[in-house]
Amino acid sequence: MADSNFRGPIASMGALEDVNPTVTGTTVVAAIAPTDGPSMFYQGVGFPDPRSAPFSKDFSRPGQQAAFLQISDVYTVDAIPQAQNTTVIAAAQVATATVNVSLSTIAVTNFSSGAASIAYGVPIRPLGTTVVAVAPIALDFGFASGTTIANSTAVQVSNTSLFYPGQWIIIGNVANTTGTASLITQVQTTINATTIGVSPVPATALGAPIGGADLFGGQYLPPGTQFGPANTTASFHRPSSLAGFYRVNNPAEMLARSISIAASTIVNGTGTFLVSGWDVWGSPMTELLTASGTTPVYSRKAFKFVNTVLANNNSGTATVNLGIGDNFGFPLVLDQWSHVQVFAGNTAVPNNVGFSTAATGAATNTSGDVRGTILLSGIGTGTPISSVATTDNVKRLVIIQNVPQSILLQTTPNTLAPMFGTAQV
């Protein structure tokens, strides 16, 4: 489509354009279309420099019009992290050289309504692939939480406004009776103010995190036997919310954090462990951690999904504990502290203490996070923002990033690094 210049203004009225009074004449009822929602503008929104008048409307060339780029704050994280725990990924596991540590498959016991928590066996589609993989462990999973009943459609939730009929979701840890896999299911109805109905039904009764799935508007697809896709059910996790024609990244699902490891009884005193998984966008990533005793060490990178933890050069065997720390990752590149606002437990972070900006240069398995991190408490690598901000299933973490002009204009489908960081390793 050709570039266009026109007088404007642009008015996107959505459901406001079609309203009708009811029979009594006291209530306005709007016709809500499935694609109603926000407008999107590639590389942001600008406004012209009024000193540049008159505008040469009969020409169109790069750099023709003087303008200012209006940058908006982006809520990239808005969620309650799971409480820090040094054994939640693996507890007292015996690790042998060149063998993967046995990861936990037991549902989280410190589940708290409204807080994110671990989910097991979550289907994901790693970035750049078309094949669904199953992540053994998802950290801080979910945009909501609920309580299931075995073999029942009813799921108790704290906020039914987050759900709508036809919505595909993933309920953590309830796909089987042992709680080792997560269930892809569809919201059928809102039963009452605190209950939704889903199908397929959970296999076990559990307090569980609830995340988003990848199919939106599936009811509008033609039958698979004719022109539609072969499968009209969701198939993997997608951290997005429906917004009319668009799906938008959901800040309630953008938590990613550090991994902790402690290892004792190592013959040579130290041992290295290679943590492999995926980041919050589904990019494969690794980090090599060196452990030397019962005091935990923490990754510099923020993981969303854990796949394996491989014991490398520890001679003999070691007893290993794996958990989560309080370093949290930024979903978008942070290159200057002045480009972000952070609230931990409703308290604004006042200065740049605790921030680590995005690592520069090519990523390695020992480099820092490709987008940067913030350390909330002393339970992690670096200097914390506070000694009292330890995650506890209660304190909310809110990250508001301001994407600077230089990053916004440099980022294209062919050049993603300015906004999303160098390629993970």
- Strand-pairing partners, residue 297, are 261
CB-based contact 325:296 (threshold 8 Å): yes
For residue 98, is it within any domain? Answer: no
Q: Kindly report the pTM of this predicted structure.
A: 0.94
Predicted confidence band of residue 76 (pLDDT cuts 50, 70, 90): very high
From 46-55, 295-304, 392-401, the region with the lowest mean pLDDT: 46-55
For residue 14, is it within any domain? Answer: no
List all residues 6 or more positions away from 223 whose beta carbon is below 8 Å from its beta carbon.
none
Predicted confidence band of residue 424 (pLDDT cuts 50, 70, 90): very high
The last residue of a domain, from among 221, 249, 277 = 249
pLDDT over 60 at 230, yes or no: no
For residue 48, is it within any domain? Answer: no
For residue 316, is it within any domain? Answer: yes
Q: Are residues 282 and 346 in the same domain?
A: yes
Predicted confidence band of residue 114 (pLDDT cuts 50, 70, 90): very high
pLDDT over 60 at 335, yes or no: yes
Q: Are residues 306 and 382 in the same domain?
A: yes
- Strand-pairing partners, residue 344, are 347, 397
Q: Are residues 370 and 227 in the same domain?
A: no
From 196-200, 298-302, 325-329, 347-351, the region with the lowest mean pLDDT: 347-351
Question: Mean pLDDT throughout 158-179?
Answer: 95
Q: Are residues 342 and 379 in the same domain?
A: yes
For residue 324, is it within any domain? Answer: yes
Predicted confidence band of residue 227 (pLDDT cuts 50, 70, 90): low
Q: Would you state the pLDDT for residue 245?
A: 93
For residue 119, is it within any domain? Answer: no
Q: Are residues 271 and 414 in the same domain?
A: yes
Q: Are residues 267 and 221 in the same domain?
A: no
pLDDT over 70 at 226, yes or no: no
Q: Are residues 304 and 245 in the same domain?
A: no
Angle, CA 123 vertex, CA 218 and CA 151 arms, to 5°? 75
* 312 vs 284, higher pLDDT: 284
Q: Are residues 231 and 293 in the same domain?
A: no
> pLDDT over 90 for what percent of the chain?
74
Integer Cα distance of 36 and 144 in angstroms: 24
How many domains does one find in the chain? 2
Integer Cα distance of 425 and 310 in angstroms: 16
Terminal-to-terminal C-alpha distance of the chain: 38
Q: Would you state the pLDDT for residue 298?
A: 98
Question: What are the Cα distances from residue 347, in Å, to 296, 300, 315, 377?
Answer: 27, 24, 46, 14
Q: Are residues 199 and 240 in the same domain?
A: yes
Predicted confidence band of residue 184 (pLDDT cuts 50, 70, 90): very high
Q: Would you state the pLDDT for residue 292?
A: 84
The last residue of a domain, from among 249, 273, 299 = 249
Q: Are residues 231 and 379 in the same domain?
A: no
Q: Are residues 268 and 381 in the same domain?
A: yes
Q: Would you state the pLDDT for residue 254?
A: 98
Angle, CA 18 vertex, CA 13 and CA 23 arms, to 5°? 145
Using one digit for the tens of pLDDT, what is the confidence trace for 373-423? 999 999 999 999 987 799 999 999 999 999 999 999 999 999 999 999 999
For residue 354, is it within any domain? Answer: yes
pLDDT over 70 at 205, yes or no: yes
For residue 359, is it within any domain? Answer: yes
Place of tokens 């016709």: 31
State the residue range of the domain holding 305: 76-81+254-420
Q: Are residues 156 and 258 in the same domain?
A: no
Question: Mean pLDDT throughout 138-165?
Answer: 96
The last residue of a domain, from among 193, 226, 249 = 249
